Chain A
Amino acid sequence: MAAFINILLGGVFHAAVLFLVAAGLQIVFGVQKIVNLACGSFYALGAYFGVTTVTWALKAGLPPFLFLPVLIASGVVLAVIGPVIERLLRTVYDRDESFQLLLTFALVLMFQDIMRYFWGANPQQLGNLVMVYGKVGAGGVDLPVYNVLVIAGSIAIALILGGFLQRTRYGRILRATAENRAMTEALGVDVRRINVVVFTLGTVLGTVGGAFVVPTSAASLDMAVELVVEAFAVVVIGGLGSMRGALAGALVVGLMRAAAIALYAELELLSIYLVVILVLILRPSGLFGKPAE
């Protein structure tokens, strides 16, 4: 029973972080029709920058229990790279998807070198900061309160994002743009500005996701690609462009990964991608995606 609960809690924690990155990927694809492989790089950058910012803040005298707000702020500050990268992507908006994939993959490689240049090749971590908030018992398993806070934070972000898209005027304009860009322009919307806002939002979701994960595991150069592999599994399972799909896909991948690590660690990716293949065969549009016309 304890092993099952351990898998469940570990899976939900990973799903919470994965959801943030996948939500960024989904909203960017939904509105801009760009498959952004660089979402993994934003995640890694959020993790590295989070380590640096929190380490600096602690040295400057920040009480350890305040590290979480600083970590979140470090992820949010990285929003500044969103408009810069979006400017670069404008060159491929109207081109074939292969150009978009090549350009965003080039960004992954470039970010990897940038991170190597600033932080070196060795993984960076935050020590035992994850235990600052203590532990909570659940079904015979001790869980860091930090993990509970991250899960709650991700749920809150999912609810806010859902409310923003469904209930606000700007959210409705974003949904209209996702459905029909040309018509939205004919209603007076500057779609270039929408692209900047959406891409920046996608970037922040990735960087905050990376910042959230770094107290529990080290920031490393491999984490961008590892995350992209999982985020794409989330998107295929949940359905491309669907926020509900991102949530469902993240839960499936998070739980599959936790179960595989606990039972057959070697088969982690194999088990996830078996589900991906099954979904592609049985429901190609994913659990919540719209079937292709």
Chain B
Amino acid sequence: MLDLGALSVDIQNSHILRGVTLKVGQGELVCLIGRNGAGKTTTLRSIMGYRRPNAGTIAFLGRSLTDLPTHAIVRLGIGYAPEESEVYGDLTVAENIELPTWTCPEGRPAAERIALAYQIFPKLRQYMKRGGTQLSGGERKMVSIARALALDPKLLLLDEPFEGLSPAIIPTISDGIASIRKLGQSVLMAESNVHHIPDDADRLYVMERGEIIFAGTPGEAKRDPAVMRVISGAA
């Protein structure tokens, strides 16, 4: 479904990504794990078209994304929940979640997409009329993920969905991701804390200084002491 081949990205003359190769298959949950600054966010932002690669390929469903603008990439079927949530403060929770059904009306009916978003995070129904600035960090994360899901994407990119959250809210987000997984949704999740990686992840890529240093199952990663040294101290 998603194929990154030897992807290299420079930002202000610094090599941020060095030959990153990864794959996400249909219905897979793939995790990209590494310390802060390892290049996870840049990888996701490059897929979304915010960063242009110096070398390498990004293909989605066989189509190259490297020359497409962000909105066209989204319309091919990629939803994105960024690290900072980026919930619109000027809009209500309900408007934030409905917005993708107005901007991308193709696909499943809007009502079905919105219902699904609330089904993943039922708590959001209580806050529907609340403005985006009146939410806690955890609530903003929920809105951000629900909003990306309301795009009806074929692939969902989640950037650090647990970053900066209080321990009390983490199970809610974790359950939400598990529910998304049950829908058969393909997900690529960037995470800096190994403890937040879902047990049923299909594949794990470990990233260090812009390079993929390990690719395999979570079980294989746990049996590799060198990898565990990197990801255990990743947070």
Say if A and B assemble together: yes
> A172 in the interface, Cβ–Cβ < 8 Å?
yes
CB closest residue in chain A, given B79: A186
Min CB gap B78→A, angstroms: 9
Whether the Cβ atoms of B90 and A175 lie closer than 8 Å is yes
Q: Which of B50, B99, B147 has the most CB of A within 10 A?
A: B99
Q: Is the interface of A mostly helix, strand, loop or mixed?
A: helix
On chain B, the number of residues with a Cβ less than 8 Å from chain A's Cβ atoms is 22
> A187 in the interface, Cβ–Cβ < 8 Å?
yes
> B88 in the interface, Cβ–Cβ < 8 Å?
yes
**What is the bound-complex CA distance between A178 and B104, given in angstroms?**
19
**What is the bound-complex CA distance between A178 and B88, given in angstroms?**
10
Min CB gap A269→B, angstroms: 34
Q: Which of A169, A184, A187, A192 has the most CB of B within 10 A?
A: A187
Q: Which residues from chain B sit less than 8 Å from chain A, CB to CB?
A: 48, 50, 69-71, 74-75, 80, 82, 86, 88-91, 95, 99-100, 102-104, 147, 151
Whether the Cβ atoms of A189 and B88 lie closer than 8 Å is no
Whether the Cβ atoms of A186 and B90 lie closer than 8 Å is no
Known: A182-B50, A183-B82. A176 touches B91 (CB 8 A): yes
**What is the bound-complex CA distance between A173 and B102, given in angstroms?**
9
> Which B residues are in CB contact (< 8 Å) with A187?
74, 99-100, 103-104, 147, 151
Whether the Cβ atoms of A173 and B90 lie closer than 8 Å is no
Q: Which of A169, A185, A186, A191 has the most CB of B within 10 A?
A: A186
**What is the bound-complex CA distance between A216 and B103, given in angstroms?**
44
**What is the bound-complex CA distance between A183 and B102, given in angstroms?**
15
> Which B residues are in CB contact (< 8 Å) with A176?
88, 90-91, 99
CB closest residue in chain B, given A189: B103
> A179 in the interface, Cβ–Cβ < 8 Å?
yes
Whether the Cβ atoms of A183 and B88 lie closer than 8 Å is yes
> Which A residues are in CB contact (< 8 Å) with B99?
172-173, 176, 187
> Which B residues are in CB contact (< 8 Å) with A180?
86, 88
